[in-house]
Structure 1
Amino acid sequence: WTQKVTAGLNPYPVDGLVIDYDDAAYAETGSVTGHHAARAGYAYKWADESAESILDHIEWSCAASTITPVAVFEPVELEGTTVKRASLCNISECRRLGMGGKGTVLDVIKANKIIPKIIHVRKSEGKFQIPAVCPVCGSPTEIHQSDASDTETLKCTNPDCAAKKLKKFTRFVSKAGMDIDGISEQTLSRFINEGWIRTNADIFRLGDHAEEIAQLDGFKEKSAENIKASLEKSRKADDRRLIFALSIPLIGPDVAKKLLSAYSFAELIHLAENSDDPEVFSSIDGIGPEKSTAFVRWFHEEENQKDLQDLLKEITIEQSNTAPIGAKCQHLTFVVTGDVHHYPNRNALKAYIESQGGKVTGSVSKSTDYLINNDVTSTSSKNTAAKRLQIPILSEDEFLAKFGEQS
């Protein structure tokens, strides 16, 4: 059987083997460790399948804090898949391996049968080149050495590099933000590395690169079409989502809602850009001087103003309905968790509660009136907290019967 596994003749993939006792009572007499219940068995891993390949080039991939070397080599078959790229992690790992340039002969595996990895350099050709400038913004790079481990990593010296804005772009496209389907953080990172995204407005111009997107590894023409369709759908922007999507410090969805309950979007932006008083919004219930100051300071930054005006050329602002249209949930605080069935998603259920004068929070506390969870018997932390605090747990059906439009 083991020979079948190592020869790839097993009818299903196997990455390890555990030998255990068939006497459960005897097994329980084994000693315990901090990680496993008992030393009642033995676990084995087969050696990872390896293949030899030749390096074509090293691609330098920019992330929020580092520039990571990625080996691109001649395709090889490993564990039933074609592999042609593997992260080299950092400069220290490249030096440990003795990495060279184009033509370097490599040994490649899929670690734990999943992650492509270079384990050995058989023959180094040419010289390992470290880029002097960032591949995204063109600013000088620097080698940073960790105080704790002496590991060397490459970093961009430009604090405004688009790659460092990855987390901000991720928030921008998120469900709570502009709700753009089909663009994950990983996808954003690739598009940034291609030089297509430097500002939020650039995200809405990705359709101009549809043909190039379709040619990328892991993408097809259909993927590019789906992204283009998602972008068009998101061009009509809810003002509350947009303010959250801008990644203004201290400004979450709830704060955005409170600001827009006092001013229209246009009035809010005009006042933030032109007011000499950073606490101009502090009189709004739930805002206070700290949040007001953060909001005003963001809009006083010339670069932020410029980026927003550029973005507004790509989208149409729709005013969110911040005022309640009913009172079925008035003065009540809800927490929503788990899957929903009657509403398209949890955000739609939350929007209904708010439209009926209710409040939705993210955690169960003494101020919570109801927890909504279709799995009322769940042992999740929220259900457990609700039971401990004697807070009613409602299924979606029970919520609709009590607070729904037909109630």
Structure 2
Amino acid sequence: MPEPTPAARNRHAELREALRRHNHNYYVLDAPEISDAEYDELFRELLALETRYPQLAETDSPSRQVGAPPSEKFAPVLHALPMLSLRNVKSEEEFMEFDASLRKTFLAQGSDIDYLCEMKLDGVAVELTYEQGELVLASTRGDGQTGEDITENLRTLASVPRRLNPPFPALLDVRGEVYIELADFQHLNREQEEAGERSFANPRNAAAGSLRQLNSAITARRPLRIFCYGFGRWEGPLPATQGEALAELRRLGLRVNLEGTSRARGAQEVVARFRQLLAGREELPFEIDGMVVKVDELELQRELGELSRSPRWAVAYKFPPRQAETVLEKVVLQVGRTGAITPVAQLRPVNVSGVNVSRASLHNWDEIARLDIRVGDHVLVERAGDVIPDVVKVLTEKRTGAEIPIPLPESCPECDGPVTRKPGEVVPRCVNPHCPAQALERLKHFVSRDAMDIDGLGEKQLLQLIDLGKLQTVADLYRLTRDDLFRMERMGEVLADKLLQAIAASKTRPLSRLLFGLGIRHVGSHTARLLAKRFSGLDTLAAAEPGQLTEIHEIGDKVAESLRDYFANPANLLLLRELEELGLRPTDEAVVQSDGPLRGKTLVITGNLASLSRKEAEALVERLGGRASGSVSKKTDFVIAGPGAGGKLEKARQLGLRIIDEEEFLRMTETGE
């Protein structure tokens, strides 16, 4: 065994401390300083040194530990069986080496292994413990041995069942990954930025921060989902394979990504599955960073056993990083509907994994300070699905001295009005109530699908109407005439009538839609629904005392103060009075019928419906006691197929499910038959 050189010892000590710091930032603070790809390179360098000089691999080395020690903010949970990490392979050659080592050591030469290939979600690992079918405990992975008790937070997830379907094991530890879909992540960050709060760097950070809240009401408001992928203790008859175990977890009522799972015979089939998954990753609604490959046979898994921090029978086959180097050429300041000013990087165009990127998010000035980023810097940008790319690193070694710092704005970039930054907030705001940029963003928000859903009024149309002097406030929407619309480009009679019908239809949207559309700070779509269920109209809400608001579960002092400020503003009261005079009559919030005609039914909607939007149809299903699902499975009761239906319809046919059209669906909402 060679003796480590002084240089090797010094480098090992540097890597050990750096990895400990990055583990703490990632797992405990939910604030990583480097990308996953950079972390992997540091870790691989540490492993290479310890392979060459085994005496460096002491018991406290990051190579022998999982995650980071649990936070003292939560009660500790000792895992009955360790929650291990996975070894990474980053190329076809490395996976072939993994496969060859298993076959050489544990199997007869020449035989192929049956593998199960699963999507590797970029989320947060958790464990759910069920006793006699009841959820009794939920915890984070922590350091693999000890996690954090987050039971109350996990109970707020609709996708986590409180009770399993019988028959069930007497004791079951389920492992899963909590994540946030990309569209939900974008919406969450917009709400964070508009509220003056720190935005999240990526969906994984958002999920981690949401799970580790001391107030479970905050967790409940976040769009968290879970996919279960494995188990620890299982008291009762065990399935024979990993695939059968996942199918049984789904039967028990747990959410499992069976559609994203496939069986492969031998290494060549695994590589083919990996290439297919890599090619289709951009079409997924959530972020994945690779494929988990597991030996399918559970008995062989037990025979293969474990290393100090990872199982021998599984690896994470990682995707190449979606990063590229470019130059920050300019910073553009965008003004939101509440005056929030956010910086966006304009980049020298660069191709990142087949997509041309010319801008990236800088989030806020705290993030600018953390990165120490300047105009003219060489930077690394990273894509994450459909989310706007992020600047993940500044290449300071390439600086010439000509780079320019990015100061806080002293005035609004759109109206030159005054700018303030309140203590505790991370974004500066334009405080000019007549700022044209804010007016446009308020109009865009008001007509959006989740608010008043006025189809046909996008940014282009709104800008034309503003330029024509026909739009200043949302009330002006309800004053528009056919003649006004005819002054717009490419506006004919049919299109004008359709647009006027959409505006008229919005007058009777549910109260929650109007509340959300008004753009009141801290009142997102979920909070708006809570308020609409408690108060019969805007008048009663405006007259509510702070104590009446905060007694509603999930409504805190910040929301109550924001509502009080909104209804105390004379300009807002004038707007509401105008809307009422123009005929807005928001309807009562629909109440879910526990005994509704669709009770216990799971429906999937695919294609286009003539009389309802997708969201309206899904809301109707849930209001009548059913469940609207986004994916087709054996548990689906009905598939509603309209024109343009595609893959979901085909899968429903393959599974032999009942397929109905829109007319039959509407009849079913009345009878349940």
TM-score (norm 2): 0.33
Higher relative contact order (CA closer than 8 Å, sequence separation 6+): 2
Structure with bigger helix share is: 2
